[in-house]
Amino acid sequence: QGLFGQRPHPPRPPERAWRAACERAMLGLASLSLGFITKAQCADLVPCKPAIARGRAYKLSFCIHSVSLPGLDGKKLKAGQRPFVTVATGDKVKQTELADWSQDDERWCFGEAITMEVAPHEEVLISVVCNKEVNLGLAALTHGTKCVGSICIPIASVVPMLQMQDRDIDGLVYTTEGISFDVLKDGAKTGRALMSFETKQAPPPAANGGSAGRRNLCSEESWCNFSARGA
């Protein structure tokens, strides 16, 4: 019994409804918070498929095998004037070492791979460059460079040609066959470059479809002539 022998009054109906509403609200907030936490943890552990195939940048290796330049005879060229290759995308530029002249094949051999971070929508400018030398009698001084020709390659055209290979040490690698490109200077052909491409990152699934004709062309004739808009 309460004060003065009176029984306490039971909670009024509006008070009961208010308490029930508060309980439901607290349960709803707890469920919502748990849902956000679960989604965040899931996204960290297993990224969703659209995020993987969104076309973000990845590392692609440009394997420079050899370059044939009829106007650049290795038998008559000085050692310091041997050509090298630059690979440029955006504001990033990398270059190879000086090439070695193959007397048997009559071409410049590189055997180097340059790895760049690229995006599917980008284009890569590959240039064949030679050093200019000034003969000072006792020594030769390098004085600038001269571009022999360039190749502009859309990355979106390379991705469909990547084929999966299982290498013992490197594991799964996606690579192309050797492809020969025209080297152009001011719209005129100055030589041919033999290259291939490879990456350890799987290409988007859409890149494997609808490109069989392009792959067959490169497999049978071993060359593709991309535009040289950057030449």
Query: DSSP string spanning 48-70?
Result: -HHHHTS---EEEEEEEEEEE-T
pLDDT value of position 71: 85
Residue at 123: amino acid letter = E
Nearest alpha-carbon partner for 62 in 217, 168, 193: 193
Residue at 13: amino acid letter = P
Predicted TM-score of the model (pTM): 0.64
Per-residue model confidence as pLDDT tens for the chain (231 residues): 544 455 555 555 555 665 666 666 665 555 544 444 343 443 343 333 333 344 678 899 999 999 999 988 888 888 788 999 999 998 899 999 999 999 999 999 999 999 999 988 899 999 999 987 655 555 455 567 899 999 999 999 998 899 999 988 878 999 999 999 999 999 999 999 999 999 998 876 544 444 443 443 343 333 444 433 333
pLDDT value of position 116: 94
pLDDT value of position 57: 85
- DSSP-derived secondary structure letter, 88: E
**DSSP states along 170-223:** TEEEEE---EEEEEEETTEEEEEEEEEEEESSPPPGGGGSS-HHHHHHHHHH-B
The pair of three-digit structure tokens given for residue 161, joined into one six-digit string: 């040609």
pLDDT value of position 72: 86
How far apart CA 129 and CA 72 sit, in angstroms, is 11
φ, ψ at 49 (rounded to 5°) = -60, -40
pLDDT value of position 150: 96
**DSSP states along 103-171:** TTTTEEEEEEEEEEEE-TT-EEEEEEEEEEEEE-SSSEEEEEEEEEEEEEEEHHHHGGG-EEEEETTTE
pLDDT value of position 84: 95
Q: Decide: residue 30, CB within 10 A, 0-12 exposed, 13-18 middle, 19+ buried.
A: exposed
pLDDT value of position 209: 44
